[in-house]
Amino acid sequence: MSREQREAIRQLRASSPLDLGGAVHEQRALFEQLLSHHPVPEDVIVTEAHYDTIPGLLVERAEEPCVGTVLYFHGGAYVLGSARSSLGIVADLARRSQTRVITIDYRLAPEHPAPAATDDAVRAYRALISSGADPQRVVVAGESAGGGVALGLLAALSCADEPMPAAALLFSPWVDLTLSGDSMTVRAEEDFILNRTALERRVRDYLGDASAAEQHSPLFADLHGLPTTLIQVGSDEVLLDDSTRLAARLVAADVSVTLDVTAQATHVFQSFAASWDEADAAMTRAATFVRTTLKP
């Protein structure tokens, strides 16, 4: 890893006015500005679409045959972000994996508390399948809170005995709203993206009553019957234990899972693939997983 590359990312974050634990109405615009600075490549087409009543964006490479569909859920701690703010990482994934990627605008808290995000994910997935998409040609993916939304969707499908997608791809998933992982403390000094104080406020926004945190944490759901899963996470994340414990629970549920940990990387580092060698390599591995899973 280039120390200079990592330090440049740290400095970029330090100079940003974004406060993930700040007032929602102020931070939403800042979050969009921070994540929207990545230009969409000229060979990528972005089309507005709806899945059921859920708005989203269809992202695909121009004149490039696709091997399947990725249904993607953006990050933002359940209160920030949008389909458009995820375009940087989504366009990169679409190009590398040779898929079309659908990124949706699930409802945000505190206006729409739990389980609104998961409910929207379920409706969008059902609409996608009803439109003719073969579940075995679909990968469900998400970053951070979006990873939690993706896992919540899969648990809901399993509970309802509905057709599963071919696979799941999770980038730094936030799946434990109780914030009980040891890494919340052990990795606090290294993680320059997230911190416990910010996450605690977002949990309150999403749940209203923190006593419901375990109930709405997909980490503690019944994970039997889920599809093969790739989890990517950085070793410097306060959410590291969300990924390690999720991998262990998937193994216990007889689910095929790969836990891909990148040393000294922080939260959703894949979004820096254009300027961070390890992030570029991780995105290549993620795209290969998707493409291989969907290969005829």
Question: Would you name the residues annotated as active-site residues?
Answer: 144, 237
- Angle formed by the axes of helices 145-159 and 116-130, to 10°? 60
Nearest to 94 by CA among 73, 76, 72: 72
Question: What strands lie across the sheet with 228-234, from one edge to the other?
Answer: 44-51, 54-61, 100-104, 69-73, 138-143, 167-171, 228-234, 257-262
Beta strand residue intervals within the chain, DSSP E: 44-51, 54-61, 69-73, 100-104, 138-143, 167-171, 228-234, 257-262
d(CA 63, CA 54): 27
d(CA 182, CA 128): 38
